[in-house]
Structure 1
Amino acid sequence: MNAEQRARIEANRQRALERLKQRGIIRDEQAKKMEARNAPKPAKSVTDKPSDDVPKDKVQNSKSASVNVNSSVRDASSKDKEAANDEGIKRSKRPLDKIRPTIRKQDYIEYDFATMKNSHGGFINIEEDYEGPDNKKQQSLEDWQRSQRERRALYENAPPPDHPSLAPKCTECNINTELDPLLLDTFHLQVCKSCVKAHPEKYSLLTKTECKEDYFLTDPELNDDSLFYRLEKPNPHSGTFARMQLFARCQIEEFAFKKWGGEEGLDKEWQRREEGKAERREKKYQQKMKEMRIKTRAQEYTKRLLQKKHGEEHIHEFSNAVDGGVNDDGLQVLKRRCIGCGLETEEIAI
Structure 2
Amino acid sequence: MNAEQKAKIAANRKLALERLKKRGILNKSQQNSIEKRFEPVKPPITNTTVANSNTYKNQEQYIPTTTVPATQSIQSRDATTISPTKTNKIRPSVREKDYIEYNFATINNLNGGYINPQDKVYNEGDPDYYGGDDSHNDKKLKTIQDWKNEQRERRMLYENAPPPEHSSVAIKCIQCHINIEMDPVLDDIFKLKVCKTCAKEHPEKYSLLTKTECKEDYFLTDPELNDIELFHRLEKPNPHSGTFARMQLFVRCEIETYAYKKWGGEEGLDNEWKRREEGKLKRKEKKYNDKIKEMRIKTRAQEYTNRLRDKKYGKTHIHNFSDPIPNGKDEDGFTILKRRCIGCGLETEEVSL
| TM-score normalized by the length of structure 1 | 0.54
The verdict on how the C-alpha distance between 1:119 and 1:255 changes in structure 2, with shifts beyond 3 A counting, is farther
Aligned mates of 1:122, 1:156 — CA distance in 2: 37
Contact 1:169 1:177 in 2 (8 A): yes
What residue number does 1:121 align with?
A: 112
Task: For 1:251 and 1:136, locate their aligned partners in 2 and report how far apart those are by CA, in whole Å.
Answer: 27
AA at the equivalent of 2:121: D
State how 1:78-97 maps to structure 2 within 5 Å: none
- Which of 241, 253, 267 is the matching residue for 2:256? 253
Distance 1:263 1:120, change over 3 A: farther
- Structure 2 matches for 1:154-165, cutoff 5 A? 154-165=157-168
Instruction: Identify unmatched segments of 5+ residues in structure 2.
Output: 1-108, 123-133, 319-341, 344-353
SS class of match (2:163): coil
Post-superposition offset of 1:244 = 0.5
The structure richer in helix per residue is: 1
Partner of 1:306: 309
- Show the counterpart of 1:288: 291
Q: How far off is 1:309 after superposition?
A: 1.4
Cα deviations by residue, 1:169-206 (Å, 9 ceiling, x for unpaired): 11111111111001100101111111111111111100
Are residues 192 and 133 of structure 1, via their aligned partners in 2, closer, same or farther at CA, if it must alter by over 3 Å? farther
Q: Which residue of 228, 233, 249 maps to 1:225? A: 228
Structure 1 residues 120 and 275: alpha-carbon distance in aligned structure 2, compared to 1, 3 A threshold: farther
Partner of 1:205: 208
Amino acid aligned to 1:213: E
Structure 2 Cα separation of the partners of residues 123 and 176 of structure 1: 44
Q: Displacement, 1:139? A: 2.0
Shift of 1:129: 2.4
CA contact (8 A) 1:203 1:248 kept: yes
- Write the distance in 2 (CA, Å) between the matches of 1:272 and 1:120: 52
Write out aligned runs for 1:119-268 (5 A): 121=112, 124-126=115-117, 127-130=119-122, 131=134, 135-268=138-271
CA drift of 1:303 comes to: 1.3
1:201-234 deviation digits (Å, cap 9, x = unpaired): 1111001011001000000000000000000011
Give the SS at the match of 1:145.
helix
Decide whether the 8 Å contact of 1:133 with 1:140 is kept in 2: no
Deviations 1:104-155 (A, max 9, x none): xxxxxxxxxxxxxx97737732334243998423222222111111111111
Rounded to whole Å, the distance in 1 between the matches of 2:299 and 2:204 is 54
Q: Which residue of 1 aligns with 2:30?
A: none
Paired letter, 2:214? C
In the TM superposition, residue 270 of structure 1 has moved relative to its aligned partner by 0.5
Cα distance in 1 between the residues matched to 2:111 and 2:243? 8
Q: How much does 1:163 deviate? A: 0.9
Q: Secondary structure at the residue paired with 2:242?
A: coil
- Does the CA-based 8 Å contact 2:234-2:248 persist in structure 1? yes
- Given residue 112 of structure 2, which amino acid in structure 1 is its aligned partner? G
2-structure distance, mates of 1:278, 1:177: 51
**Aligned residue runs from structure 1 range 22-37, under 5 A:** none
Does the CA-based 8 Å contact 1:119-1:125 persist in structure 2? yes
Matches of 1:133 and 1:139, distance apart in 2: 10
Alignment size in residue pairs: 202
Percent identity at matched positions?
70
**1:159–1:123 distance in 2 versus 1, CA, 3 Å:** closer
State the TM-score, normalized to the length of structure 2.
0.53
Residue 92 of structure 1 corresponds to which residue in structure 2?
Answer: none
Root-mean-square deviation (CA, aligned residues, Å) is: 2.6
